[in-house]
A and B are shown apart, each in its own frame.
Chain A
Amino acid sequence: MSRTVETEFPTVDMMLNMGPQHPSTHGVFRIVVTVDGERIVDCEPYIGYLHRGVEKLCENYGYRQVIPLFDRLDYLSAFNSEHTLVMAVEKLMGIQVPERAEYVRVALNELNRIASHFLFYGTFGMEAGALTPFLYGFIARERIQQIFEAVGGGRLTHNFMRVGGIKYDVPADFKERVLELLPYLEQGLSDCVNLLSENEIFLARTRGISPMSAEDAIDFGLSGPVLRASGVAVDLRRYDPYSIYDRFEFEIPVGANGDTYDRYVIRVEEVNQSLRIIRQALEQMPDGPTIGNAPRVIRPPAGEVYVRTECPRGDFGVYLVSKGGPMPYRLKIRAPSFCNLMALRQMLQGTYVADSVMILGSLDIVLGEVDR
């Protein structure tokens, strides 16, 4: 006589709260995870802890006063965000930016991208349990920060871009200093790659984890390295060119699987491409004025414009509506982290709790721009 053993036990899903003060959320971000054992069944992200009402503030500030607010959105790539804003105003007013200012902007943007990606590298390593990459990433980033300090005085919030150009010319030794720094950064990157990219444990933690298909990535409106990891070769510097990016030769790293590893490796490869762009920009950089003929009081004509640039985190968009006044009538900020974070819910479903931190880390969000 045989006896069947009941293997299916009725289980109850457990709700698990993570954040808002959790070290791996890179800010104040809360997520409530429903788990079935070790598997994540569903999750619900809560944002807004850092909401400062930037869009409302913009409507009450003059255009010059808005620039520092943009530093405080994505504070890890402040030059890029500022650049987007001034480009929108310039487009609306039809202001021509001097050549030198354009080259300085590109050099600073790309340096900022590298600094941001080094920070990502450091924190991402830490999320996998490796502490050393954090230090390596920060050593390289610190050298870039020193250049930023020499250029604008600030380390994170620069307030350096101006409508029509840049605040003032870069120091006389800017070119030499950056050229000196580039081989150091190359070395720094290869050290980083050697330390983490082939690491057995790291590969086990990232390969094949939470893959995102190209169709889903496009449908969710993902952008930046997260989109390109899924195999969609959309980099706005090439795909929807702005500023003077059409003058440089560079490649766009594209992933094949869209998994957590691809999202990491795309950023590492992007640092190499940014180094290439900086080198070309410094070679071609002409002398000359650094600010165009922008009026003293900035009063764009009535109209509206949507400008977007490729920030380290993705497609940063500014929708500017002007009614001809000295303040923006409406300024909508399309933050790449905000849109990338939207996909987290789907990305986490079906994964292990332990991987959730890695997956969130691979999105490389900055809560300053998620919450605005």
Chain B
Amino acid sequence: MTDSDRVLLPRMRTPEEIQPLVAGCLRGLEFEAKPAFGELVVTIPAASAVEACRRLKSDPDLRFDYLRCLSGVDLGEGLEVVYHLFSVSKRHKMALKAAVAKDDPRLASVVGVWKGADWHEREAAEMFGIDFEGHPHLKTLLLIDGFEGHPLLKSFTIGGIPSDEEEANVKNG
């Protein structure tokens, strides 16, 4: 069996097209949306991240049923968790960003929304020290037991190489 005996694919929707739909779906929540590089990027506070994810998944017009990727980012002044979402049934995509405070890195887990968030969250937890509240099994994944520190934080340096970008720029000319 191949896809040729299936109905034609739904047309890929542009970020501009889904922007009003997302705005409608997230009504009542505080957020900011702008398209960038062919993708709609929505920024929300950490407190409403799970609620937003749940709504985006269950919205009949959006149906973000597929979690492409979940990444942590150390922005210097704070952390950020980025959810790259995709809708298999509706064929559109977006990125959702939740800002996490560095001194109190806590964020509710989305394992209950997408099962596929499990290992991604465990990885982000050990690499950035983010506590994903409500994750059923938040223990080390890639690092060895007893590893000290969170390697992907910018304050963690490897082999004396400054991970501060300014310094590294000087070094590389």
Contact = CB atoms under 8 A, between A and B. Distances in A.
Interface stretch (A31-39, A67-75, A106-114, A301-309): A301-309
Contacts of B3: 233, 235, 238, 251-252, 254
Contacts of B6: 233, 254
Contacts of A170: none
Interface stretch (B17-25, B48-56, B165-173): B165-173
Given A220-B115, A221-B114, A308-B68, A53 B151 contact: yes
B131 interface: no
Nearest to A339: B116
Interface of B: 1-4, 6, 9, 12, 36-37, 39, 65-69, 71-74, 82, 84, 86, 88, 91, 93, 95, 114-116, 118-119, 127, 140-144, 151-152, 156, 158, 161, 163, 165, 168-169, 172
Given A62-B172, A239-B91, A55 B152 contact: yes
**Chain B interface, >50% SS class:** mixed
**A-B residue pairs, 8 tightest by C-beta:** A221-B116, A332-B71, A48-B142, A233-B3, A251-B2, A252-B3, A334-B69, A51-B142
A372 B142 contact: yes
Contact of B65 (A219, A255, A308): A219
Interface in A316-367: 317, 319, 321, 323, 325-327, 329-330, 332, 334, 338-339, 341-342
B116 A219 contact: yes
B73 to A, nearest CB: 5
B61 to A, nearest CB: 18
Nearest to B95: A306
Interface in A239-287: 239-240, 251-256, 269
Given A62-B172, A240-B12, A330-B74, A303 B37 contact: yes
A352 to B, nearest CB: 24
Nearest to A345: B118
A91 B152 contact: no
A234 interface: yes
A53 B158 contact: yes
A92 B114 CA distance: 29
A62 B143 CA distance: 25
Contacts of B9: 238-239
Interface in A293-318: 303-306, 308, 315, 317
A53 B143 CA distance: 9
